[in-house]
């Protein structure tokens, strides 16, 4: 059964770069039927899509975050990563990684999620 697990620092200083990794187990990140994505949720607020990546490295980013976001993939480690630069307190959130199904006969939907990791931006 496919599982996703986020990892990375739980505390980041303002103006620094937030870095998280999502490890995929129980399946290959190189499947042609899926993208892989990052979504975040500030405390007490709703979900926000950050961006998605294909195993080939093709990426799509939320326009509101695009200037600060980089998502990359390492197929040899079955991992994909998120970097968010110049963080402020507004970037404090639970960060989820998720699998995005994009089959030939199905539209995009996040069908498997990691448990999420809380990242706090504070000095």
Partner 1 sequence: QSALTQPRSVSGSPGQSVTISCTGTSSDVGGYNYVSWYQQHPGKAPKLMIYDVSKRPSGVPDRFSGSKSGNTASLTISGLQAEDEADYYCCSYAGSYKVFGGGTKLTVL
Chain residues binding partner 1 by CB under 8 A are 37, 39, 46-49, 52, 60, 62-64, 96, 101, 106-111, 113-116
Nearer to partner 1, 89 or 109 (CB): 109
Q: Give which of 3, 2, 4, 1 is closest to 97, Cα–Cα.
A: 4
Rg (CA), the chain: 14
* Minimal distance, residue 48 CB to partner 1, in Å: 6
The span from the CA of 107 to the CA of 93, in Å, is: 27
* Minimal distance, residue 15 CB to partner 1, in Å: 26
The span from the CA of 123 to the CA of 16, in Å, is: 10
Nearer to partner 1, 17 or 120 (CB): 120
């Amino acid at each position: 059964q496919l599982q996703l697990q986020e990892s990375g620092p739980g505390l980041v200083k303002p103006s620094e770069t937030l870095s998280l990794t999502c490890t995929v187990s129980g399946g290959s990140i190189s499947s042609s039927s899926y993208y892989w994505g990052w979504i975040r949720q500030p405390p007490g607020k709703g979900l926000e899509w950050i961006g998605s990546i294909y195993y080939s490295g093709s990426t799509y980013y939320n326009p509101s975050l695009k200037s600060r976001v980089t998502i990359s993939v390492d197929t040899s480690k079955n991992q994909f990563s998120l970097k968010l630069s110049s963080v402020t307190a507004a970037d404090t959130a639970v960060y989820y990684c998720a699998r995005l199904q994009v089959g030939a006969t199905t539209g995009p939907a996040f069908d498997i999620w990691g448990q999420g990791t809380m990242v706090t931006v504070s000095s």
